[in-house]
């Protein structure tokens, strides 16, 4: 379980973050000013630091320079564009602007942890394994060469699995979204996926509607 340091001086926000990250399964430590943040970070090894830019005593910018090696997500008040740029330059792994959706924060935390731990994103079902990072697809461990459009279509199906997607929707997801009405393009590509990956059962035709990847 990853350990996260929350450095944020507004107690209400700090608490809210802690509650949500705890619920999401992370172990959290709260600090409320820059000096405390630095001391705590030196005493313990954290997998990630959520760092408010404007902290009492030491600013986030000053702290990040000392945190070499530890991933950081900057938390900034709205609209300070220059702050964000500065933060990223100084080595932040991501930033998030207040006020933010908790789910968004959790997604970013997950993403940074995934990235910094060198984990690869994969998606698997049946005998199919999709390496999302390098866009390669394996069936029973054997790589199946998909053409770019075919892969894009597959990813669209995965991201919208279990729901029926109209041809229009698929075109807007995979193709450059303005598109004249009536073509068989989607159909042909769907057939390719079915044939190459043996997905006849999984990619279902929804008559008069479109297609659905059923998992």
Partner DNA sequence: TTTTTTGATTACAACTTGATAACAAAGTTA
Partner DNA sequence: TAACTTTGTTATCAAGTTGTAATCAAAAAA
Among 8, 32, 210, 212, binds DNA (CB under 7 A): 210
Judged by CB under 8 A, the number of residues near a copy of itself is 37
Do 53 and 87 meet the contact criterion of CB atoms below 8 Å apart?
A: yes
Q: Across-strand partners of 168?
A: none
Shortest distance in whole angstroms from residue 122 CB to DNA: 22
Judged by CB under 7 A, the number of residues near DNA is 22
What is d(CA 167, CA 175) in angstroms, rounded to the nearest whole number?
11
Distances (CA, A) of 55 to 59, 154, 184: 5, 45, 57
What is d(CA 145, CA 137) in angstroms, rounded to the nearest whole number?
7
Query: Residue 111, interface with a copy of itself (CB under 8 A)?
Result: yes
Sequence-distant (≥ 6) Cβ neighbours of residue 145 within 8 angstroms: none
Query: Residue 16, interface with a copy of itself (CB under 8 A)?
Result: yes
Only segment of 33-41, 64-72, 132-140, 183-191 that touches a copy of itself (CB under 8 A): 132-140
Shortest distance in whole angstroms from residue 156 CB to DNA: 13
Among 2, 38, 190, 213, binds DNA (CB under 7 A): 190
Q: Give just the sign of the alpha carbon dihedral 123, 128, 131, 134.
A: negative
Among 173, 175, 196, 214, binds DNA (CB under 7 A): 175
What is d(CA 195, CA 139) in angstroms, rounded to the nearest whole number?
12
Only segment of 34-42, 56-64, 102-110, 185-193 that touches a copy of itself (CB under 8 A): 102-110
- The residues binding DNA (CB under 7 A) are 147-150, 175, 180, 183-185, 187-191, 194-195, 205-210
């Amino acid at each position: 379980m990853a350990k996260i340091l929350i450095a944020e001086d507004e107690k209400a926000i700090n608490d809210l973050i802690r509650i949500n990250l705890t619920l999401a399964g992370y172990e959290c430590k709260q600090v409320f000013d820059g000096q405390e943040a630095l001391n705590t970070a030196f005493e313990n090894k954290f997998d990630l630091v959520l760092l408010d830019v404007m902290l009492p005593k030491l600013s986030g910018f000053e702290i990040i320079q000392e945190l070499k090696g530890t991933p950081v997500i900057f938390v900034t008040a709205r609209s300070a564009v220059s702050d964000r740029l500065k933060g990223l330059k100084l080595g932040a792994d991501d930033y998030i602007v207040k006020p933010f959706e908790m789910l968004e924060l959790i997604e970013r935390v997950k993403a940074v942890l995934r990235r910094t731990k060198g984990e690869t994103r994969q998606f698997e079902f049946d005998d199919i394994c999709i390496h999302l990072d390098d866009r390669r697809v394996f069936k029973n461990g054997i790589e199946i060469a998909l053409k770019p459009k075919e892969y894009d279509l597959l990813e669209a199906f995965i991201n919208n699995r279990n729901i029926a997607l109209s041809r229009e929707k698929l075109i807007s997801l995979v193709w450059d979204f303005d598109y004249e009405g009536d073509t068989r393009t989607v159909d042909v590509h769907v057939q390719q996926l079915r044939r190459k990956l043996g997905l006849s059962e999984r990619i279902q035709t929804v008559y008069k509607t479109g297609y659905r990847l059923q998992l």
